[in-house]
Structure 1
Amino acid sequence: MKIKITMMLKKVLSFLKTSFILAITFSLSACEDTKIVNKVMLVQTLGYDVDGKNIRGSTLMGDYTKKNVIGATFLEIKTNSVYDVFNKLNSKTKSPIEYG
């Protein structure tokens, strides 16, 4: 009789541990920073080209500001550093740029 109770207790504890781990996993995965799609520009494609001593960055961004209307914006900039492309593109838009 003691063996059956001990085995049942082990199964219950194992189930509770598994349930706790799953609950923590699901709750932590929902804590990501969220952005509203129609308040940001989503980068669909980003390209880098060498233009002499400069870098030319070009991007195609989805525009979801109007309901049931799909738009796109193409931007192009020139800079002397690859690391500056995203910042310069961001300065040309009215909404912040996010990777999509």
Structure 2
Amino acid sequence: MNTNTTLKIKNIIQKNSQAKIKNLLSKYHDYDIAITFEILSEEERQKLYKSLSAQKLSDIFAYLEEPKTYFDELDEEIMIYIVFAFLLQIEFQKL
């Protein structure tokens, strides 16, 4: 884990509007955002969820070691999208 990167991401989430968060985080890899989940409060993660598209969240959740830990925090619609994306990925890997 690159502590400097995770702290930068946390700072972006804490100090910016939802529109700015989306733009600023586009410069970071999904993995870096995923590992930042561990140091974010639930309130900060909620702000992040509201800032990003379901597709982007799905890409980030793919890197989480324990994604189910965070499912209860998601809107039902986004959670369904992420689970569906995971299932598609599993099916695609079987081909």
| Structure having the larger proportion of residues in strand | 1
Q: TM-score, normalised by structure 2?
A: 0.25
Structure with the bigger RCO (C-alpha within 8 Å, sep 6+) is 2
Q: TM-score, normalised by structure 1?
A: 0.24
Q: Which has the larger radius of gyration?
A: 1
